Amino acid sequence: MPTESDTHYDPSLGNKFIFVTGGVMSGLGKGITAASTGRLLKNAGFDVTAVKIDPYLNVDAGTMNPYQHGEVYVLEDGGEVDLDLGNYERFLDIDMTSDHNITTGKTYQHVIEQERAGDYLGKTVQIIPHITDDIKRRIREAAEGTDVCIIEVGGTVGDIEGMPYLEALRQFAHEEPEENVLFTHVTLVPYSKNGEQKTKPTQHSVKEVRSIGLQPDIIVGRCEDRLDPETKEKIALFCDIPTDAVFSNPDVEDVYHVPLMVEEEGLDQYVLEHFGMADEALPVGERANEWREIVTTEKEGTVDIALVGKYDLEDAYMSIHESLKHAGFEVGVDVDVHWVPADELADGHQGQLEGMDGVIVPGGFGMRGSEGKIEAVRYARENDVPFLGLCLGFQMAVVEYARNVLGLEDAHSAEMVEDTPHPVIDILPEQYEVEDMGGTMRLGEHTTVIEPETLAYDLYGDTSCSERHRHRYEVNPEYFDAFEDEPLVFSGTAGNRMEILELETHPYFVGTQFHPEYTSRPGQPSPPFLGLVEAVLEQSDAAGTEPADADADADTDAETEVTH
């Protein structure tokens, strides 16, 4: 919470709550809108946190296919959550916990457990008040100790699974002082064929919200361009809010520019005035400006990184894309990520890696694509291409080295091939008796001890690091001796567990059992990702070449098989 010297904020004013809902369609950018609002309030000196409500019946996102909800983002306490919480951590520069993700599965599970324990003293357990009370409790507990809590309700207004949450919000607003609650509704403003911005979808969406008993205080229109003044006036008239409470959120080149865009629209100032916090905020000239400086860094050239995965979906590797972007901010280059299907590399399509400045093999599960990932590792190792392996990518690097350098024929991970003659990757001992899939892996933040005088030490600048994990398998201790005198060394360990590997004879060959992408932030890039991009630039300098011009790359994107 801001100190008196920072903002003169009076804690007795209580928590402020911003509820963000969406209409018309999902995927409009509610999360980015919410995170951007939080970023601006943080710049103004306030302590901000966030909550993501996911109305699905899953307890958490851990067992979901990436095609359903994108990547599974892992929090420091081991919570497996929706990728929107990754955006909140990156935009707000905070570490969140599982308590900041509310799901229907969590809520119903808790209420049913209480009922089974007899805590309701014979009452009939119902959606109202028991489920809605639990939702409100979770929101208040997550907000404790902060000035502003932003709550994003997943899905769209009108979804049957979201109704208990909207009812809980209605009750919440009834229980809190009016000046402590603000409702933001994000909706689509499409163009007609004749180029007119159409407000009817917004009108119907707001009508649905109001039928539930909620009145938006702010409407954010998602459109290709800024909303025309006439469009804003029409939305205000039909949705019963002031014209200056209608804001544009147009398409931008980079999501990190959204805070700058809505700041120009005056969204932060409107929120502060609604909450009666404008006088307590830092003066505009004294507000933090680091975000603008970081995300508007002028770039000189482009580097091309191959991401060898099995999901043709950027959201499946969201944190990797963002971590590369953060590294690019730091060194002043654009990083173009090219998805390369792992399935095809196993069939001799390594030509897709030619011309790439670096290779990343990300995490994942299952046999599909594993042979292609091994071939990608081999290509990077044999051709001195900067390489970063993450979780499964780390494990596949071990398998590749065992097969092609140590001569352990048919070496593999026991996850992929149970009867492999050389299980250089095997299941964690504590996983032997585990039957349930959800929430049972080695999860969350764990400390890795780093050997001095290694590349890992140079990257982290310390003899230890704390990073987030999500895995069931690890390097088999029975094969430690086989690697003992090899150029491939394990430079980071956690007891008897191998956490970081590097290849001493290679320009940049690093693998991590953990997921460093989850702790990367604008202005604080993940060390392994920063090291990868710096290694690419060093190779360019050594070869006497410059990174490709960004404009020139734009002309050739159409020739790339799949480019994000």
The binding site for L-glutamine consists of 67, 364, 392-395, 415, 472
275, 394, 401, 410, 487 from 407: Cα distances, Å: 67, 19, 8, 9, 15
Binding residues for UTP, by number, are 26, 198-203, 234
Q: Are strands 509-512 and 497-503 parallel, antiparallel or unpaired?
A: antiparallel
Residues 208, 265, 330, 517: which is the catalytic one?
A: 517
Query: Catalytic residue at 506?
Result: no
Question: For the chain, how long is the longest CA-to-CA vector?
Answer: 78
Residues 375, 391, 446, 471: which is the catalytic one?
A: 391
Q: Are strands 464-471 and 442-450 parallel, antiparallel or unpaired?
A: antiparallel
Residue 242, both tokens:
């002031």
Helix, strand, coil percent values for the chain (each to nearest 5):
40, 20, 35
DSSP assignment of 117-185 = TTTTTTPPP-IIIIIHHHHHHHHHHHHTT-SEEEEEE-S-TT-GGGHHHHHHHHHHHHHS-GGGEEEEE
3, 44, 332 from 462: Cα distances, Å: 32, 33, 25
Helix or strand run (H / E) with residue 500: strand 497-503
The torsion angle over the Cα atoms of residues 176, 182, 183 and 184, rounded to 10 degrees, is: -160
Binding residues for CTP, by number, are 26, 159-161, 198-203, 234
Query: Catalytic residue at 517?
Result: yes
Q: Are strands 358-361 and 302-309 parallel, antiparallel or unpaired?
A: parallel
Which residues face 510 on adjacent strands?
A: 388, 502
d(CA 456, CA 452): 8
Binding residues for ATP, by number, are 27-32, 84, 252
Residue 241, both tokens:
């809010």
Query: Catalytic residue at 391?
Result: yes
Identify whether the C-beta of residue 548 lies closer than 8 Å to the C-beta of residue 103.
no
- Look at the block and give the residue holding tokens 């990702």: 529
Helix or strand run (H / E) with residue 5: helix 4-7
Q: Are strands 488-494 and 509-512 parallel, antiparallel or unpaired?
A: unpaired
The 3 state secondary structure assigned to 323-370 is HHHHHHHHHCCEEEEEEEEHHHHCCCCHHHHCCCCEEEECCCCCCCCH
Question: Which is nearest to 440 in space by CA: 470, 408, 406, 485?
Answer: 470
Which residues face 421 on adjacent strands?
A: none
Helix or strand run (H / E) with residue 54: strand 48-54
**DSSP letter assigned to residue 525:** -
Question: Which are the catalytic amino acids?
Answer: 391, 515, 517
